[in-house]
Chains A and B, each alone.
Chain A
Amino acid sequence: MSAGLPLSERVQQLIVRMCFDNLFVAQVRSDEVLDLGIGERERQWLRELPQEALDADAERRSRLVMALRQEAPLAARMLDLVKHWPYFFGSPEFAGVIEQRGSSVVALCDFVERTFPFSGWTPVLRVETCMARLRRKKTRALAPHDVALGERFSACVVPAQTLVAYEHKLQLLGASEHSPREVILAERSPNGEISLEIASEGIAAIVSAIGEGALPKTQVLAILAAHTDEPDTVFLDLLADGLLVA
């Protein structure tokens, strides 16, 4: 909370928090002693605010989430996956946005990094955080002999291959039904190890069609015929390799 803030402005900050965070609303309405930075009269005003009035702008949260998805797609996706948006809106990071003129994007990145430290996404999320901070970087005054990164630059130290992983995750997020597809074929060796490879076009067509089920032989041969001049021979080879069983 900013020191020296006029009481009316502090009440506004709390109203905005109430617009996004239903748990906070319940806390304000309760008799729990809270250090809200306002008097009992102002708290009573907040208590009397009808929930429906706060909810009348039904798109408020979704407008913000949409903006966050655009700028921090990976962090937003993480919250989508675990249905964690209400926790973000109730987080100290989000309260800080309201109280310290912060950025929701930066707060989201910080929140996800803090909340899911072992998710394996941390390095790629750091790339997003780095970009979010860079977009908001301002020129700063330097001491006469100091040197710093220019305002157009920022950096983050992450494990090797993080940039590749970051770009790959973004690609996956952007993938649609119409995006190019590949079929990964997993094969277990006699000693139990599993190897992965991208299936050729013909194999991909067959394994996709069969899936974990089964197809009549005529249908499998028809698929093969679309990819080879000798479907019967190839079919026998696939049986011999153990890819297909009949």
Chain B
Amino acid sequence: MNFHQRVTRLKKLGLGVSTEYGAAQQTQGLDVFLLRQQYPKFGGFLEIGVEAAKGLDEAAQRWINTGGATTYHFLDVNLSDPADFEAGWLEQTRALVKATDAAWVCGDSGWWHFGARESGHMLLVPPVLTASGVAPLADGIVRLREALGKEVLPENPPGHWFLGEQHVLDFYAQVVDRADSGMLLDCAHLAIYQLQKKLDPLTGFDGFPFDRVVEMHVAGSEWRTLGGFQYVEDTHTPEVLEATSLIFAEVVKRAPNLKAVVFECERNPLSACVPGFEKIAAVWP
């Protein structure tokens, strides 16, 4: 089956939230259960960020046990590196994906770590946006999809830099075409790219296959300055940049296969996040 046939089998999850190991334990962390209880429409599913070595935390496990829908967001594989698909890691990941009963698997398609997969090696470096980077990434997506038996959606990562001669959307258009895959378009990460390159938020939209967008992320970001260098940090705060909102609203119009939207605000109290959810829901009812 090709992507367009496979995507019809994916469930529409609606609007949801993300979490990472231990996020719920933070004092200011979002209470996903309270969200689901008070605003069921905003808590349609939980995107669980997982490092296989750490597994699932108590909150994720509880969400699963209470029958909540999930997606599995990996935090520990460099898709473009075949050597990173170690048998032990794959076995752990397969078991975790099964335990979460995730609708699909997704995650930033950059380098999550350097060297071997071990403590202290974690980072998130965006891919080099160049022709030679397309095949390794696309082949990794296919490799993981086949290994897990689940749809794997690559996500455009954030970055303090973006190297390469291609626009990020042109790059991912080639990646998802070669992998015959869907995509998780992170609107905040795309806004970071456009702002850093001093481009209009909608630059690169022409020719991008938006019918491959299955999931989107919306999140707050903040301008920062270091020395004379200005950059946008992916802070997951509730205040969303205008460029991010503009991208989101435009992609929604063009993405017929959109099944899920995550408002990434896991480290903030519910009251601070509600207005953000409401704005997203107004654009994507």
A138 vs B6: C-alpha distance when bound (angstroms): 38
Residues of B near A15 (CB, < 8 A) are 125, 128, 161, 163
Residues of B near A12 (CB, < 8 A) are 80, 111, 125, 127-128
A74 vs B127: C-alpha distance when bound (angstroms): 36
B163 adjacent to A64 (CB under 8 Å):
no
Tell me, yes or no, whether B122 is within 8 Å of chain A by CB. Answer: yes
B115 adjacent to A98 (CB under 8 Å):
yes
B83 adjacent to A53 (CB under 8 Å):
no
B115 adjacent to A6 (CB under 8 Å):
no
Q: A8-B127, A8-B133, A63-B122 are in contact. Are A52 and B229 (CB under 8 A)?
A: yes
A52 adjacent to B128 (CB under 8 Å):
no
Residues of A near B165 (CB, < 8 A) are 41
Tell me, yes or no, whether B135 is within 8 Å of chain A by CB. Answer: yes
Tell me, yes or no, whether A67 is within 8 Å of chain B by CB. Answer: yes
Residues of B near A7 (CB, < 8 A) are 130, 132-133
A6 adjacent to B133 (CB under 8 Å):
yes
Q: A12-B125, A15-B125 are in contact. Are A56 and B118 (CB under 8 A)?
A: no
Give the most central of A13, A50, A52: most B CB within 10 Å: A52
B115 adjacent to A101 (CB under 8 Å):
yes
Q: Which of B80, B115, B130, B227 contacts A103 (CB 8 A)?
A: B115
Residues of A near B125 (CB, < 8 A) are 12, 15-16
B161 adjacent to A8 (CB under 8 Å):
no
Residues of A near B115 (CB, < 8 A) are 97-98, 100-104
Q: Interface code A9-35, partner B: CB below 8 Å = 1, 0 otherwise?
A: 101110110010000000000000000
Tell me, yes or no, whether A114 is within 8 Å of chain B by CB. Answer: no
Q: A8-B80, A8-B128, A56-B231 are in contact. Are A104 and B123 (CB under 8 A)?
A: no
Q: Which residue of A lies closest to B163 (CB)?
A: A45
Tell me, yes or no, whether A127 is within 8 Å of chain B by CB. Answer: no
Tell me, yes or no, whether A112 is within 8 Å of chain B by CB. Answer: no
A52 adjacent to B123 (CB under 8 Å):
no
Tell me, yes or no, whether A60 is within 8 Å of chain B by CB. Answer: yes
Q: Interface code B72-95, partner A: CB below 8 Å = 1, 0 otherwise?
A: 000000001101000000000000
Question: Which residues A82-101 have CB closer than 8 A to chain B?
Answer: 97-98, 100-101
Residues of B near A136 (CB, < 8 A) are 116, 118
Q: A11-B128, A12-B128 are in contact. Are A57 and B119 (CB under 8 A)?
A: no
Tell me, yes or no, whether B160 is within 8 Å of chain A by CB. Answer: yes
Give the most central of A6, A46, A65, A136: most B CB within 10 Å: A6
Question: Which residues B130-184 have CB closer than 8 A to chain A?
Answer: 130, 132-133, 135-136, 160-161, 163-165
Tell me, yes or no, whether B114 is within 8 Å of chain A by CB. Answer: yes
Question: Which residues A156-171 have CB closer than 8 A to chain B?
Answer: none
A71 vs B118: C-alpha distance when bound (angstroms): 11
B163 adjacent to A105 (CB under 8 Å):
no
A85 → chain B, closest Cβ, in Å? 13
A98 adjacent to B160 (CB under 8 Å):
no
Tell me, yes or no, whether A49 is within 8 Å of chain B by CB. Answer: yes
Tell me, yes or no, whether B11 is within 8 Å of chain A by CB. Answer: no
Tell me, yes or no, whether B120 is within 8 Å of chain A by CB. Answer: yes
B229 adjacent to A6 (CB under 8 Å):
no
Selected A-B contacts with CB under 8 Å, 9 pairs:
A6-B132, A8-B80, A8-B132, A8-B164, A16-B125, A54-B161, A56-B160, A104-B120, A104-B121
4 tightest CB-CB pairs across the interface, nearest first? A67-B120, A8-B133, A52-B229, A97-B115
